Amino acid sequence: MREEPRIIYSLDAFPISNNRWNEGNKFKETIYSTALSILYSHLWYKDIELYADETAYKFLYMLPCRVSKISSNKDAVIWMKSKIDVMKKQTKPFIHLDNDAFIKKKINFDFDKVIVEQNDYELYGMYQYRLDFFNKYTQDLDYWKPDLGYAFNCGVLGFRDLELRDQFLKAYYALEEIFIKNNNPSIKRIEPCIVLEQYNLATLLHHKNIKPTLLLWKKNLFENSQLADRIGYTHIAGQKKYRIDIVQEIENRLSKLFPYWYKEVKNALEKEGIA
Does residue 138 lie within any of the structural domains? Answer: no
The structural domain count of the chain equals: 1
Yes or no: say if 57 and 67 are a contact pair by the CB < 8 Å rule: yes
List all residues 6 or more positions away from 110 whose beta carbon is below 8 Å from its beta carbon.
Answer: 2, 213
Please, what is the Cα angle at 170 between 168 and 176, to 5 degrees? 100
Q: Which segment, 17-26, 41-50, 239-248, is predicted with the most confidence on average?
A: 41-50
Confidence (pLDDT) at 186:
62
What is the separation, in whole angstroms, between the first and last Cα of the chain? 46
Q: Are strands 94-97 and 6-11 parallel, antiparallel or unpaired?
A: parallel
Is the pLDDT reported for residue 172 higher than 70? yes
Q: Which pTM was predicted?
A: 0.94
In angstroms, the CA 70 to CA 92 distance is: 19
Residue ranges making up the domain that contains 239:
1-107+232-270
Q: Residue 138 in 3-state DSSP?
A: coil
Does residue 83 lie within any of the structural domains? Answer: yes
Confidence (pLDDT) at 243:
87
Task: Give the CB-side neighbour count of residue 259, counting CA atoms within 13 A.
Answer: 1
The answer to whether the Cα torsion of 35, 37, 40, 42 is positive or negative is negative
Report residue 18's pLDDT band, with 50, 70 and 90 as the boundaries. confident
List all residues 6 or more positions away from 213 whose beta carbon is below 8 Å from its beta carbon.
Answer: 110, 111, 112, 114, 115, 116
CB atoms within 10 A of CB 147: 10
In angstroms, the CA 178 to CA 172 distance is: 10
Does residue 134 lie within any of the structural domains? Answer: no
Q: Mind listing the pLDDT tens digit for each residue in 188-221?
A: 677 899 999 999 999 999 999 999 999 999 989 8
Confidence (pLDDT) at 188:
62
Residue 114 CA to chain centroid, in angstroms? 15
List all residues 6 or more positions away from 17 whose beta carbon is below 8 Å from its beta carbon.
Answer: 25, 26, 27, 55
- Burial code (b: 16+ CB inside 10 Å, e: under 16) for 79-96 equals bbbbbbbbbeebeebbbb
Does residue 123 lie within any of the structural domains? Answer: no
Does residue 12 lie within any of the structural domains? Answer: yes
